[in-house]
Structure 1
């Protein structure tokens, strides 16, 4: 069984993996450090798969970026029966600005497209709204409400606590809520025996 971690480049996917597992994974400040499928064994029957980031990747051609995106889609389609939990990580501090840029080009934002695709595969994604440490606490609820609207979820965001988890991988804030939600998803799927690996 697998927990997959997905999202655009440079949103903190590998940092989330590190926070969840305590295992050292390669992270960096430039987009595209993870360009391979990083599989981390948590036990005999459970892996976390840190998918490559998609979107802009420093030093990689547009053609190669599209190839990575295709490989991610293919991986998700071919392995959906093994995926017990799908996590999409976003950068809460830049999500709305990037979404506006995409919409200005009459395109669907990549983050929104991925969230919809995970829903279409019936993987019931958990949206990890990372980098909340970069947003003032007085603006956080408003920002998360607007992110809900972009994802096709009715605000207020707090009604979606079974889907949206605000965190800061940098400070560790909210990671305990993500851990609780993961455990709940395992119980809901009848996979309690795998909880010992978390």
Structure 2
């Protein structure tokens, strides 16, 4: 179980599969580099970034889902830990940012859409909503996507949102973390912070 969480009352969490660029996004948001494993699934503990003078925390949770070379029981344990962490801190999490790979996410969701199977990303999106945590989907690596609007419409549909995706700009944020292009995500996070009367945290986004 993750026991390292600093004692802060306001938090934004990043969740998502392995290798979708969460650590790069974390670096863009905080200006701080974190130790990340060279291969997917090496990060098994949350990376917390807190400002000592502020009652606020950004947390990059370990990636879940398939990781080559990682045994299934370890993968399941990580996913269980991530779910439990979100449940236990739900009252303090102001925004949950689900990071997906814009190029691969539709294929991954469709591949796991068999009978009785909910794809991890769709499941996590629903889970955040069930807990009453505003969810923003950061659709990363969009610089590698050609049919941008079509791809975002398809993703919206699979998340149960009616296309066109543009009407959900506080939920779907196309970004390219590696290129430092994260404006839509910052705007979406600010929207949800404002709804919760936390404009004081705008300076972090």
Task: Give the TM-score of the pair, scaled to structure 2.
Answer: 0.89
Q: Do the aligned partners of residues 105 and 133 (structure 1) sit closer, same or farther apart at CA in structure 2, a change above 3 Å counting?
A: farther
Q: Distance in 2 between matches of 1:34 and 1:195?
A: 28
Cα RMSD, aligned residues only = 1.6
Structure 1: segments with no counterpart, 5+ residues: none
* Residue of structure 1 equivalent to 2:193: 186
Bigger proportion of residues as helix: 1
* SS across alignment from 1:19: helix
CA drift of 1:93 comes to 0.2
Q: Do the aligned partners of residues 197 and 95 (structure 1) sit closer, same or farther apart at CA in structure 2, a change above 3 Å counting?
A: closer
Structure 2: segments with no counterpart, 5+ residues: 1-9
* Residue of structure 2 equivalent to 1:118: 128
* SS across alignment from 1:72: helix
Give the counterpart of 1:144 among 144, 152, 168: 152
* Residue of structure 1 equivalent to 2:21: 12
When structure 1 is superposed on structure 2, of 77-86 and 55-64 the one drifting more is 55-64
Q: Distance in 2 between matches of 1:90 and 1:165?
A: 10
* SS across alignment from 1:67: helix
What stretches of structure 1 move > 6 A for 4+ residues in a row? none
Aligned residues: 195
* SS across alignment from 1:103: coil
Tell whether 2:44 aligns with 1:39.
Answer: no
8 Å CA contact 2:29–2:204 kept in 1: the answer is no
CA drift of 1:30 comes to 3.0
Q: Please show how residues 22-171 of structure 1 align to structure 2 within 5 Å.
A: 22-27=31-36, 30-43=39-52, 44-104=54-114, 107-136=117-146, 139-171=147-179
- Cα displacement string for residues 60-112 of structure 1 (whole angstroms, at most 9, x for unaligned residues): 21011111111111111110011011100000100111112112465211111
Task: Give the TM-score of the pair, scaled to structure 1.
Answer: 0.92
- Cα displacement string for residues 40-72 of structure 1 (whole angstroms, at most 9, x for unaligned residues): 113431111100100013432101111111111
Q: Do the aligned partners of residues 150 and 45 (structure 1) sit closer, same or farther apart at CA in structure 2, a change above 3 Å counting?
A: same
